[in-house]
Structure 1
């Protein structure tokens, strides 16, 4: 068992016993201002607690003595802060090996950057390689500590991001990942061809554009953190998670109620604290776990009944609940609520057993072409049956494909409507389906479009409108029909991978001959030469801006997609190996 946990176990029990007994170690008979600590009384108290708590006497004496020293030192620090304004803070540095705890006396008026410089000097770390966290937030560089909620006696968590010199050199510029992620996501959020929100079936969730951008940025940061979490880089993951938390907090609370991402983020943050053994963050972790449980129950039902009705199974989400209950039990343990903690840990044991996945069955699914994540999710949903798991995965794939096809069809229809223009009522667009009906009846396309526009998509009235309003002139009609023909041919070229603007130009330049247009596009690598002859200066400038914007979006997506999982329900893919390790550790502490 980890010696740190064993030592912490003794401190938890003695600290709680002292509080319940109302014993204040910094007061007589245990401590006198003039004579200091009374070894005789401390020994007697340690002897008593050793028998009562069934803990080795030496461990008791060591814990009581250390608690007394800490209490007296805190009083001195408080008085010093009142007199001089110098606050005493501690910094727990999480680097490779044993965590290092340092104490600093500082003015809270100093900026985060100045404080980081002090820590860098003390720890021989380069400033760009670590982040400081206090009270659940990342310390900002240019703001005084007092304005960031830092108080006398606070403890900071110092997260060292990567120690490898080679990787550090490669990633020196990537320390700005968070801001880059925000910028990339903001750029792509408005373009549904790159990013959109879906429910668990792949159906698109429609929300206002400004809300979507804030939510997408938060989700992207969360995904970046989850990628680090899978690599067990808990320090880096926590940095992304806390920035995602800040992003979610800026979203409309009603929108957050419709997605479970925020609850999953709370769970991930608490999990990082546990894996980093940051017990000082327990009060924050408790609040996050409480909020997570409330949101899970709201989304899935008190007994997962909504989930079962929706998916037919709750096994995969049960893995999330197992992790939640495990961390709740650990928080109870650190609050010295040992019977409650033990009962919840035993419940976790029962939850874990049916969630374990047989390695042979998993490999059988991988051999069938499924990913390990899909295999785990499928096996848990079907109680380990390989054939049923394969069917489950395929069914879910097909559901999402159909939902996405439907969403794409709706998007194409809307784009077509926008191209055709609004009707005179200003409330609707000309309907392409009605337009095709009139064209199939023999009416020219532009004539039919104008008729539908003036009659608000009423077919019978459109026919009457065409009869009562003959074409204004053949040249205008031919021009409109030619442009309409070009628009119909453009999708055939874009489907081959050519840019829409360039496809339109190639068709215009070749008088609508699609074969010649395609040939010219191929010969000039998709870029039409001499386009200045076919476009006004304004159109040319707009084309250049569009091409530059498309290039920026491709680069942004390339950066983002490196850390975004393309596996549906990837958040449910928990191996539960680390959970089982913690479960056994804490059970052994409570059952010794």
Structure 2
């Protein structure tokens, strides 16, 4: 933010107050042009009123007059030809610079046409390398501009990565987005249930399947966005967060669930505005204001009308309140609501001072074996008291373990009425009889906690009600062993599936680890290669091919989840462990601008 921008904000606001239109008389005459003497006279008046030099005022007035005249010309062109003008700001994320350009396109045209025109101006080979953001939404290339709500003379934001002289970076950004989307799709669609939604004590949240998948997608892609933001990859983060927001908005019926975990909805809006600021983009100012209003409303629901309802366990969230006030101050500044901006920045400054951690105390806790992140969050929560900070970390750890244990015990797997293979395997390994395990899981719909209770206290009742046992078919057992499955697991699968070979294979693949899946894939590959070399007719290769394809699909889902965890796990508290260096720098920058 420069002093020139500060001057423009002040002058623009004063022109609105006085209802002065620089494109009309006496400042502009059709056929003659700009009337410099009138602009100079107005500059002198406003210089005195605003405490700005005459030359700065005149430069600002000339720039604004040129801008308004371009808008008028674009409006006439749109009325006559239907050709819309868009003011596009292209962000070079690593360098912090931007390029402004005017792009013309028919409103009836597809979003891809606008993308291609922007790419051409940036000397990129195609529009697929860029993402255009309009009013807080990523423009779809497959829909018309009009259907997506674009308007003539609208300001748009374009994210390309390092676009200047480096097309590869734009391609890399797009490839990363595609990989993340594909990974999350694999995770969500997998029958393994990698991600289970639960409340704060670990009880799984029961939702219709379609809504559950939408919500898991929203939370997953948002977490990836937050991880990118933590690495200061704000271009990638913004695109992911906007997509996550779209998933949140795709269904309204799970809003009560979001209200129970209100920070999910508040955080994504706060994070999107933070990315706007870090990308030095004010073209999305109306969207930023809207999102901060949503965030504040959600926070007030949780932390009270004055945003001060904290206890020790949630006091680290004050860092989020501080960032909210800081961003509100920045937005109000750009709207020339300077008194409100000053008030919010002062609130941010006060919170920032409270959140600062003594480096010596931090080092002491690191020397005690705590991570720097955990130590910083704990010291902020306990006002720098080390003994209480240690207790804080311990208490949080106990709560997490209790929640995880509850979730693990009560986790419900929906397998179309069947039993969960991993649950069967786990309970058998605990020493329970296989038939009793299957019956208990059927009765409890795969609830481990309740199944264990039945097995421990009502085993006789379970045994008395067991259906007639159907032993594993020896021929099918031999077939499964030929495919590389162990005798014990193959027998369990056949008995559980009542000798349905296809169901038994599905059962086996669902209960296998990544390591065993890889060995199955290797075994199937060798078997098929050996058969191809021998040329002997046999039914086994067709079955081996089916197993190979299914095993690869499941391994692909596991691998996607591992990539997901690599960035997200270990960063559960990252949204509270704000280093605050950027916040402090931004705070000082805007406080200085308010004083000028």
Q: Which residue of 2 aligns with 1:583?
A: 587
* Residue 540 of structure 1: how far off its partner (Å): 8.4
Q: Which moved more, 1:166-175 or 1:261-270?
A: 166-175
Give structure 1 stretches of 5+ with no counterpart.
455-475, 484-498, 510-520
Structure 2 CA distance for partners of 1:269 and 1:25, relative to 1, 3 Å: same
Residue 290, structure 1, aligned to residue 293, structure 2: yes
Instruction: Report the TM-score, using the length of structure 1 for normalisation.
Output: 0.79
After superposition, where does 1:411-490 map in structure 2 within 5 Å? 411=411, 419-420=438-439, 433-437=453-457, 448-451=461-464
Evaluate the alpha carbon distance shift between residue 421 and residue 227 of structure 1 in structure 2; reply closer, same or farther with a 3 A threshold: closer
Aligned residue runs from structure 1 range 95-110, under 5 A: 95=92, 96=95, 98-110=97-109
Deviations 1:411-438 (A, max 9, x none): 4999578820699999x99965455446
Contact 1:228 1:237 in 2 (8 A): yes
Q: Please report how far the alpha carbon of residue 507 of structure 1 lies from its aligned counterpart in structure 2 after TM superposition.
A: 7.8
Q: Spell out the pairing of 1:177-576 with structure 2 (5 A cutoff).
A: 177-188=179-190, 191-192=192-193, 194-200=194-200, 204-251=204-251, 252=253, 253-259=255-261, 260-303=263-306, 307-308=310-311, 312-411=312-411, 419-420=438-439, 433-437=453-457, 448-451=461-464, 503-505=488-490, 547-576=551-580
Larger mean Cα displacement after TM superposition, 56-65 or 361-370 = 361-370
- The 1:245/1:453 distance shift into structure 2, 3 A limit, reads same
Compared CA separation, residues 301 and 108, structure 1 to 2 (3 A): same
Alpha-carbon distance in 1 for matches of 2:115, 2:142: 11
State the distance in 2 between where 1:274 and 1:424 align.
Answer: 54
Q: Tell me if the contact between 1:112 and 1:141 (Cα under 8 Å) persists in the aligned partners.
A: yes
Q: CA deviation at 1:545?
A: 6.9
**1:172 shift after superposition:** 6.7
Q: 1:502 to 1:101 in 2, by over 3 A?
A: farther
Partners of 1:434 and 1:121 in 2: CA distance? 67
Deviation (angstroms), 1:215: 1.0
- The equivalent of 1:45 in structure 2 is 42
TM-score by length of 2: 0.78
Using a 3 Å threshold, how does the CA distance of structure 1 residues 537 and 401 change in structure 2: closer, same or farther? Answer: farther
Distance 1:577 1:425 in 2: 51
Q: Could you tell me how far apart the structure 2 residues matched to 1:217 and 1:106 are?
A: 33
Report if aligned partners of 2:89, 2:100 keep a CA contact under 8 Å in 1: yes
| 3-state secondary structure, aligned to 1:286 | helix
Change (3 A) 1:543 1:319: same
CA deviation digits over 1:236-257, x for unaligned, max 9? 1111111111111013322222
- Rate the CA distance shift 1:53–1:559 in 2: closer, same or farther, 3 A: same
Partners of 2:307 and 2:202 lie apart in 1 by 21
Secondary structure of the 2:157 match is strand
Residues in 1 aligned to 2:174 and 2:294: alpha-carbon distance in whole angstroms = 36
For residues 352 and 245 of structure 1, the distance between their equivalents in structure 2, rounded to whole angstroms, comes to 28
Output the CA distance in 2 between the equivalents of 1:406 and 1:423. Answer: 20
- Cα distance in structure 2, aligned partners of 1:173 and 1:435: 50
Contact 1:6/1:589 (<8 A) preserved = yes
Measure the CA separation in 1 of the matches of 2:63 and 2:170: 39
Stretch deviating more after TM superposition (429-438 or 354-363): 429-438
**Contact 1:202 1:400 (8 Å CA) reproduced:** no
Give the aligned partner of residue 506 of structure 2: none
How far apart are the structure 2 equivalents of 1:263 and 1:67? 36
The offset of 1:503, in angstroms, is 4.2
In the other structure, the counterpart of 1:512 is: none
CA distance in 2, matches of 1:80, 1:158: 24
Work out the CA distance in 2 between the residues paired with 1:381 and 1:226. Answer: 22
Q: Distance in 1 between matches of 2:572 and 2:143?
A: 40
Between 1:172-181 and 1:119-128, the stretch displaced more is 172-181
* Distance of aligned partners of 1:507 and 1:407 in 2 relative to their CA distance in 1, 3 Å threshold: closer
1:178 Cα offset (Å): 4.4
Indicate if the aligned counterparts of 2:90 and 2:99 stay in contact, CA closer than 8 A. Answer: yes
Q: Cα–Cα, structure 1 residues 389 and 268, in superposed 2: closer, same or farther, change >3 Å?
A: same
2:51 aligned residue (38, 51, 54): 54
Separation in 1 of the partners of 2:267 and 2:206? 21
For these two proteins, the number of residue pairs brought into alignment is 523
1:342: Cα distance to partner? 1.1
Q: Write out per-residue CA displacement over residues 479-534 of structure 1, whole angstroms, 9 at most, x where no aligned residue.
A: 77x99xxxxxxxxxxxxxxx99764227899xxxxxxxxxxx99x9689999xxxx
* CA distance 1:201–1:566, shift in 2 (3 Å): farther
Q: How much has 1:450 moved relative to structure 2? A: 4.9
Query: What is the aligned partner in structure 2 of residue 462 from structure 1?
Result: none
Mark the runs of 5 or more structure 2 residues left unpaired by the alignment. 413-418, 425-435, 474-483, 495-514, 528-538
Deviations 1:115-150 (A, max 9, x none): 222112211234344211112111222222222212
The Cα offsets for residues 327-371 of structure 1, whole Å up to 9 and x where unpaired, read as 111111111111221122112111110101222322333333332
Q: Check the 8 A contact 1:373/1:567 in 2, yes or no.
A: no
